[in-house]
A and B are shown apart, each in its own frame.
Chain A
Amino acid sequence: NAGVTQTPKFRILKIGQSMTLQCTQDMNHNYMYWYRQDPGMGLKLIYYSVGAGITDKGEVPNGYNVSRSTTEDFPLRLELAAPSQTSVYFCASSYGDLRYEQYFGPGTRLTVT
């Protein structure tokens, strides 16, 4: 089991560029999440999904989009990158809702300049 994998590990974007952060899990989890973590801060939920074809906004969704066409994959799309999106992005998955632990990917470090 690879668990949760994320690509790329690092990326530098110019302002206004777009990119997709990839996330894949092999644990057959229904629930998947995208977070961002700014220096010295906790994780903020961007989007989440409770199953293929179902996504919903989290606390900080502006500037991002997601899709969930399969159970395994949950890509995060950044359109028109801005310096405020410089952060570490973590994807996570869990077996179910509130009671279940989350398994995190190793993160993507994104810098927008």
Chain B
Amino acid sequence: GDSVTQMEGPVTLSEEAFLTINCTYTATGYPSLFWYVQYPGEGLQLLLKATKADDKGSNKGFEATYRKETTSFHLEKGSVQVSDSAVYFCALSRQGAQKLVFGQGTRLTINP
């Protein structure tokens, strides 16, 4: 079945550091890929998405590129802020499917 694997957390960085959170997936066909963010005490918010190979999703300084050859969708940000502290979920949705399949989430803490 479809699955998403994220790098183990928690991840702790200093402000202005470079961030990478790895995400790889297993799915048949050409799924759409997503990153969601969950701030403390809140629901999930869509951060960015990509719907086909080589697409780059970007938002709020975060970006991720859909790499079909490595089945990956790694999240990156050049300079993180304390306000980026949250749990990040990688997810996929197969074409025609009505559900999101999530990775286990990665807790990110940014220290000032």
A in complex with B = no
Question: Using a CB–CB distance below 8 Å, which chain A residues touch chain B?
Answer: none
Question: Using a CB–CB distance below 8 Å, which chain B residues touch chain A?
Answer: none
